[in-house]
Amino acid sequence: MRQVDVVCSWVDRWQCYRFKEEWVVEAPVKTVWDGMVHVEKWPVWWEGLEFSDSADELPVGMEGKQYRTRWKSPLHYRLEIHAVIRKVSTHDFISADIHGDIQGICTCHVKESRRGTRGFFSLDVRTSRTWMSLFSPFLKGYFTESHNRLMAKGMQGFILYLARGGSVSA
């Protein structure tokens, strides 16, 4: 193996992130699903999300449709993300290809449980912004903590939104 290949492999390892989260929401599966797929409503309840929109008017016929988001992390940097929905199984599963400041795949499984509805999220991405890629070996923990905080705030905001009667038509 050439020395250049070793260095590239080492840098690549630091640029890759795999996040897994679980949300439990005391609401019916359909209510949770509708809240999740109507991306235009996310900024109402998701602290740190500056905007989210879709020219494709989700969710009818969702496969192939696109949406954009811009996030302000709790640690004060921003990410712009563009997503293309790859696969959907209504009220059960969705996956999207992620492009922009990070790139990869995001999936979500939703299922009913004794405690309400459980959402399982998986995000497998790599940095694509130059500064993030260059500093990933030093800031990986920082980026991971930022992601974890955003997801926790998202879950808390979504639960409160639904508890206050929020809906996609609100």
- With respect to residue 52, please indicate whether it lies within any of the assigned structural domains: yes
Q: Are 102 and 125 in contact (CB under 8 A)?
A: yes
Does residue 152 form part of some domain?
Answer: yes
Q: Higher-confidence residue: 58 or 102? A: 102
Q: How many domains does the chain have?
A: 1
Is residue 109, in this structure, part of any structural domain at all? yes
Rg (alpha carbons) of the chain, rounded to whole number: 17
* Mean pLDDT, the chain, integer: 86
Q: Give the whole-angstrom CA distance, residue 58 versus residue 66.
A: 8
65 found inside a domain: yes
Note down the domain range covering 103.
3-163
Residue-wise pLDDT for 70-94, tens only, equals: 999 877 889 999 999 999 988 899 9
Buried b (16+ CB within 10 A) or exposed e, 128-160: ebeebeeebeebbeebeebbeebbebbbebbbe
Within a domain: 140: yes
Our CA dihedral for 91, 117, 169, 21, rounded to 10 degrees, sits at -90
Q: Is residue 141 part of a domain?
A: yes
Could you give the percent of the chain with pLDDT greater than 90? 56
Token output for 58: 């989700």
32-83 residue pLDDT tens: 998 888 888 999 999 999 999 887 765 557 788 889 999 998 778 899 999 9
Does residue 159 fall inside a structural domain?
A: yes
Neighbours of 1 (CB within 10 A): 6
Q: Is the pTM of this model over 0.75?
A: yes
Here the CATH number for the domain that contains residue 28 is: 3.30.530.20
